[in-house]
Structure formats: structure tokens, C-alpha cells
Amino acid sequence: MSRFKLTIEFDGTDYVGWQRQANGPSIQEALEDAVFELSGERAEVAGAGRTDAGVHAQAMAAHVDLQSNRFDADTVRKALNFHLREQPISVLSAAAADPEFHARFSATQRRYLYRILNRSSPPALEVGRVWFVPRPLDAAAMAAAAAALLGRHDFTSFRSAHCQAASAEKTLDRLDVSRAGDEIHVIAEARSFLHHQVRNFVGTLALVGEGKWARRDVERALAARDRTAAGPTAPAAGLYLVGVVY
């Protein structure tokens, strides 16, 4: 048996998310079908996380086990891309991996980027890839408020009602907000995240950017441990998994 670590880029607009589901096409299903076309094997492609419907990835990590030893890493990459050629999914790299490596459980940090297009005119080229907010946002105020969320906390106020995590306690290592021309970028880093956690951060910080909330309101929302105390969930379109550290 050979284990391969994959790094994958995808546009999640037309998918139900990473995980194979009965209600529509998933990234995992597309990759597993490509693996079958390559090898004739029905093998699981295990990802570093379960991205939601509409969420994108610049560098999702995954692994797959092939019973046959006749494929090298470069052949796996090229063949998977050949079979995925009609879908917005690209295997950026494939590498032989230790049998003990696990894309999800071996990860020590995950990094997400959220893109807000903050201008008066709507997007033409980036539809489905940004959150369009025409109202002016104060990125500096958002950054100052974001600092209140750093560290280890009970993030119940920022988790989805459908989150299946056993505990809402997480350690947030980084939450940066910066402006890049017409865009505001939010970068979040942690070992793991709760369901919708980053999108709920962004929706809450947008209230600060509009001047409706201040940092103290974000602090109160965090302390409340109540989802209704925090801001709205930002759209999936602006969210990207940009890196996984092992």
C-alpha cells in the first residue's frame, strides 16, 4: 500500500462542501471518482477539514491510500488532474507520505483567508469569490476588535447551532484584519475551528467596521456564550482555506 499527501486547490461554488453527501456534488466525491479512474480502487480521500458549501481552497491538504504500488507521486498528480479536467479542482502537488500521516489528525494549524470586496460597485470578475459590502468599512477598527478574540476561549457565541464539536473551547492564534485596495482581508489561524467560526467572526467584525459596534461589544458577545449575542454569519463565498501546517 502507498499513502500520498495531496495539496488541492478548488472553487467550491457549485459543491455542497468538501465532504461526500447525498444532497449534491462534493469535492471529496470528485477526487475519489478521479482516484477510481486512475487505479480502479474505491479509496477514501481524507481531507484536513470539512469546508462548507461554497467555500474555496487555495491549499487543502488530503491523503489517499492506494493498494497498488505501481504509481509514483507525479503520476498520481497528473492522472488526477486529467480526470478532474472538467471541474474547478486542481491537485497542486502529490507526495509519498508516511503511513502514520493523517491529513486531519496530524495537522497542527489551519489558516483561513476571508475576502470582503468593500467598494460602491459590485464585482464582475469575482462573483462567488468575495463578500460584496458596498458600505464603507473601517479596517483599523475591525483589527482592534479582532484582538479581543485571540487566545483560548469558549467560542459558543461564534459557533453554528449545528456544530458537532464536543467542546466550544478553542485557541485562536491569529485574527488579522487589513485593507488591500478595495478589499479587506481577514486571516484566521488555529489548530482547529468550530463550524462557521471564521464566518461568524467576519460577520461580527463587519458590524464594527460599519460603526454599529465597538470592541467592547465584541467582548460582550464573546463573554455571553450565546450565538444570538454575536453578529451574522458572513457568506461562504469569501472564505478560503489557504494552508495547513504539519
Within this chain, do residues 237 and 163 fall inside the same structural domain, yes or no? yes
CB atoms within 10 A of CB 86: 7
Residue 17 is given by DSSP the state B
Mean pLDDT over residues 177-198, rounded?
Answer: 98
- Indicate whether 22 and 131 sit together in one domain: no
- pLDDT value, residue 227: 97
φ and ψ of 157, to 5 deg: -65, -15
CATH number assigned to the domain comprising residue 17: 3.30.70.580
Share of residues in the chain with pLDDT > 90 (%):
97
225 found inside a domain: yes
Verify that 156 and 67 share a domain, yes or no. no
Tens digit of each residue's pLDDT (9 = 90 or more) over 97-106: 999 999 999 9
Asked whether residue 103 is assigned to any structural domain, the reply reads no
pLDDT digits (tens, 9 = 90+) for 32-42: 999 999 999 99
**102 lies in a domain?**
no
The string of pLDDT tens digits covering residues 196-232 is 999 999 999 999 999 999 999 999 999 999 999 999 9
Q: Same domain, yes or no, for 169 and 217? A: yes
115 and 232 share a domain? yes
Name the average pLDDT for the chain: 97
CB 35 within 8 A of CB 44: no
Q: Provide the domain count of the chain.
A: 2
Instruction: Determine whether 52 is an active site residue.
Output: yes
Domain boundary among 63, 97, 131: 97
- pLDDT for 55 equals 98
Query: Containing domain of residue 205, as a range?
Result: 109-245
Of 76, 97, 118, which residue is a domain's last? 97
Provide the 3-class DSSP secondary structure of residue 67.
Answer: coil
- Active-site residue among 11, 33, 52, 65? 52
Q: Taking 90 as the threshold, does the pLDDT of residue 129 lie above it?
A: yes
Residue 15 included in any domain: yes
Are 237 and 153 found together in one domain? yes
Structural domain contains residue 214: yes
Identify which of 66, 5, 25 has the alpha carbon closest to the alpha carbon of residue 244: 5
Number of Cα atoms under 13 Å in the Cβ half of residue 157: 21
Angle at 211 between CA 54 and CA 149, to 5 degrees: 60
**Position 164 in a domain:** yes
pLDDT digits (tens, 9 = 90+) for 54-92: 999 999 999 999 998 889 999 999 999 999 999 999 999
With respect to residue 104, please indicate whether it lies within any of the assigned structural domains.
no
Q: What pLDDT score does 68 carry? A: 87
CB 60 within 8 A of CB 5: no
Query: Residue 139's domain is classified under what CATH number?
Result: 3.30.70.660
Place of cell 483560548: 152
Instruction: Answer yes or no: pTM beyond 0.85.
Output: yes
Is 36 inside any structural domain?
yes
Instruction: Give the C-alpha separation, 71 to 246, whole Å.
Output: 24
Alpha-carbon distance of 115 to 188, in angstroms, equals 12
Q: Are residues 79 and 113 in the same domain?
A: no
Confidence bin at 239 (pLDDT 50/70/90): very high
